[in-house]
Amino acid sequence: MREESDPATSESAASVESVIERYLDGIEAGNSRKNYRSVLIGWEAWLREQTDVTTLNAVTVMHCRRYARRLKELVRDGDLRASTANTYYAYVRAFLGFCVADELLDTNPAKSTRATDELPEDHGDRDRQFWKRKQRNAILTHVDRRAAKARTGGSEREIRRALRDRALVALLALSGVRGGEVFAAPADERRTGLTWNDVDTDANAVRVFGKSREYEYAQLPERASAALVDHRERCDPADASWPVFPTGHGPSRRRAVEAELGARGWSDEEVDERCESAPLSTVIREERVAPPSLTTNGARSVMKRLCADAGVDVRGEYLKPHGARRGLGHELYASGHAELAQSALRHVSIETTHESYSDIRAAETARQVDRVLKRD
């Protein structure tokens, strides 16, 4: 048993971030270190943002339970596979186990059944959604028609919204990006949403903060590029650092104005007076306040609305953002273009692509076996 010490001077009172770095230094395999770093940094950011916990000795079973519940939510929303969610939790549990071995903690809170009971059950890939070609074409056609209709008789606000939504759907459907790479994730301070600085329509590419927590370039097919060009011309961002998909949520936009003008030295009274002097959109543009990006939850709400309007039904649900990526890869792989699927989805190796679409490989193997047996 460790000797009792003053919490203010104990190593267990060290920041979670600093102990993570110590733990990572001891992992010899480069790929393993990279994978652990990505997950643990994300967990530390979630812990700090959602629970205000920054020191190791403040981490409890309930924090681990809440993290497990958050992973379950991501699986339910289609942003994570159940197997991946369980792997993420295992990384956190292993880190906290290291803390016990290093006598920084007495027990591992992540091992408690109260916490692990909240983890999603892994039933394999049976329930993973992917956009089928017919569904993808239906939603793309709908947003195209909606944009054309808005342009002929809609208000300026309706036109901007329709063009934003068309660009959003086209980017998801055709580029292979993840939702967390282009929309803001409140629990991750580094995922603040795609900006116009990240979009290069001339090179048909967008720069995204990838799953590896490094910047990567995703391919941008012509139809998605054209939709983004139309969207940019209409919304006319005051600065290239502004988000590609700004939120339309009024309170969030107001908070952004208050925070930015307050940081510039404006008093609360001056901010209120300015916000009451003109529409918020005018204040944002004239004062050059970058509006907040649409969040991942906000993007799901957009897709729910668009699918309902278009009459696109997916077994009683809607087309989830991450299902677009899976659908694109599925179609490319099934068409015999495994390497193209790997490139479009930015998989590190072709083995990852083969594993992701093992169902297609199995079906093709079955067809070949049938052909051989019929000849016999």
- Per residue in 140-175, pLDDT tens? 999 999 999 999 999 998 999 999 999 999 999 999
Residue 272 lies in a domain: yes
Query: Token match 């549990």: residue?
Result: 93
Tell me the one-letter amino acid at 32.
S
6 within some domain: no
Q: Do 256 and 324 fall within a single domain?
A: no
Strand stretches in the chain, DSSP E: 199-200, 205-209, 215-219
In a domain, 36, yes or no: yes
Which segments of 102-209 does DSSP mark as H helices, in order? 113-116, 133-153, 156-175, 179-182
Q: Supply the pTM of this predicted model.
A: 0.71
Q: Is residue 163 part of a domain?
A: yes
Q: What is the CATH number of the domain that holds 104?
A: 1.10.150.130
Q: Which of 257, 292, 327 is the last residue of a domain?
A: 292
CA 76 to each of CA 71, 289, 305: distance values in angstroms, whole numbers, following the listed order: 9, 34, 18
Q: Tell whether 264 and 186 lie within a shared domain.
A: no
If asked whether residues 266 and 301 sit together in one domain, one would say: no
C-alpha dihedral, 137 to 139 to 140 to 143, nearest 10°: 150
Is 224 inside a domain boundary? Answer: yes
pLDDT of residue 6: 46
Upper half-sphere CA count for residue 297 (Cβ side, 13 Å): 6
Asked if the structure places residue 223 within a domain, the reply is yes
Which residue segment(s) compose the domain that 328 sits in? 129-246+293-376
Verify that 205 and 341 share a domain, yes or no.
yes
Tell me what pLDDT residue 124 has: 57
Tens of pLDDT along 318-349? 999 989 998 999 999 888 898 999 999 998 88
Give the pLDDT confidence score for residue 183 in this predicted structure: 95
User: What residues have CB less than 8 Å from 54, skipping those under 6 apart?
Assistant: 15, 16, 17, 47, 48
Write down the pLDDT at residue 129.
Answer: 78
**CATH code for position 237:** 1.10.443.10
Is residue 4 included in any domain, yes or no? no
How many domains in the chain? Answer: 3
Which residues have CB under 8 Å from 301's CB, separation 6+?
Answer: none
Q: Verify that 181 and 193 share a domain, yes or no.
A: yes
Q: State how far the Cα of 343 lies from the Cα of 217, in Å rounded to an integer.
A: 10
pLDDT score of 44: 93
Same domain, 217 and 304: yes
Boundary (domain end) residue, out of 82, 116, 150: 116
Q: Are 108 and 139 in the same domain?
A: no
Residue 122 lies in a domain: no
Query: How much is the CA Rg of the chain, to the nearest whole Å?
Result: 24
Q: How far apart are CA 248 and CA 295, in angstroms?
A: 11
pLDDT of amino acid 7 = 42
DSSP string of 273-295, one letter each residue: HHHHHS-HHHHHHHTTPPPPBPB
187 and 326 both lie in a single domain: yes
> 299 and 358 share a domain?
yes
Do residues 68 and 175 share a domain? no
> Residues in the chain, how many?
376
Among the three residues 89, 116, 143, which one is the final residue of a domain in this structure?
116
Distance CA 257, CA 273 (A): 12
Q: What does the pLDDT read at residue 3?
A: 44
Neighbours of 297 (CB within 10 A): 15
* 164 & 59 share domain: no
Query: 172-191 pLDDT, tens per residue?
Result: 999 999 998 999 987 677 88
Q: pLDDT below 50 — which residues of the chain?
A: 1-9
Same domain as 229, residue 348 = yes
SS3 215: strand
